[in-house]
Amino acid sequence: MGGLRLIPVIIFLCAPAPDLSAQGSAGSAGKLEPRALVDFPTAGMIPRGNIAMDVDFYRDGGVDLACAVGIFDRLSAGLSYGGSGLIGAGSPVMNAVPGFNIKLRLLEESVYVPALALGFDSQGHDGYNRRLSRYAIKSPGLYAVFSKNYAVLGFFSLHGGTNYSLERSDGNRNINLFAGIEKTIGPFVSFMIEYNLGANDTGTNALGKGKGYLNTALRCSLGGGLTLGINLKDLADNGGNVTVANRTVHIEYVRPL
């Protein structure tokens, strides 16, 4: 049964090569807006009439697959699903339920005003813990996020927002804050830093240690709407991993329907 669960991922990775005349969401020549930093969203949107497919590979053989559609220029929605142990010899531990996300951009960016988006996303990160009924990194839940871009040796972008996760089995119902920056490095590469305050992941029954989650990412546009990302997560060791940072891989592919 574990092999059957990998079929959607295999089909995605074996899809025909895209048209290399187009760009992905990284670098100053990118034609797509970054829709997320590492674990948290930006105000970036999927173009209307396009489909976005995302695959995350994380520790313990984990794989999450997501698919979303740009319904309008300012509205997108999608589903996600996955689990730990899909790669390797162990028994898979699947997410409890599929994730659902929807995003509405209320304000477009102008010279003085950042873009503003509201949304909901029930997909957490880095594996689902059935004993605690939550993801290792809680899902954003309800959120509001702003994004502002500046032309500085390419592009420099600021992102920040607040969220309220519906994963509350640890008794923590706090509103959370997150922020991040993105800097393009040439036409095809972007570097990102994200900080998740983790205000909703503290206390006796929580996984966080009160330091917040500090993540970095390197994104590279490979052409045709395809972007590859390498993440270093929890650099402040908030989750008590003790050893090196949690390394994950992200693949994004956006194309017209």
70: its two tokens: 């740009």
121 in Cβ contact with 143 (< 8 Å): yes
Domain ranges of the chain: 2-256
Distance CA 192, CA 215 (A): 8
pLDDT over threshold 60, residue 16: no
In angstroms, the CA 88 to CA 96 distance is: 20
Q: Enter the pTM of the model.
A: 0.88
**pLDDT, position 241:** 60
- Residues forming beta bridges with residue 247, ordered by sequence position: 232
Using 50, 70 and 90 to split pLDDT, how confident is the model at 17? very low
Query: Which tokens in the block code for residue 144?
Result: 């509001």
**Secondary element (H or E) of residue 11:** helix 7-13
Q: In this predicted model, what pLDDT tens digit does every residue of 193-228 receive, in sequence order?
A: 999 999 999 887 789 889 999 999 999 999 999 999
Give 2-256's CATH code, choosing from 2.40.160.40, 3.40.50.720, 3.30.360.10, 3.10.20.600.
2.40.160.40
Mean model confidence pLDDT for the chain: 90
Following DSSP, what letter does each residue of 82-124 receive, concatenated?
Answer: EEESSSSSSPPEE-SS-EEEEEEEEE---SSS-EEEEEEE---
- Helix (H) / strand (E) containing 13: helix 7-13
Q: Among positive and negative, which fits the CA dihedral 223, 228, 185, 177? A: positive
Reported as half-sphere exposure (CB side, CA atoms, 13 A), residue 84 has a value of: 14
Cβ proximity of 77 and 101 under 8 Å = yes
Confidence bin at 19 (pLDDT 50/70/90):
very low
The enclosing H or E element of 3 equals: helix 2-5
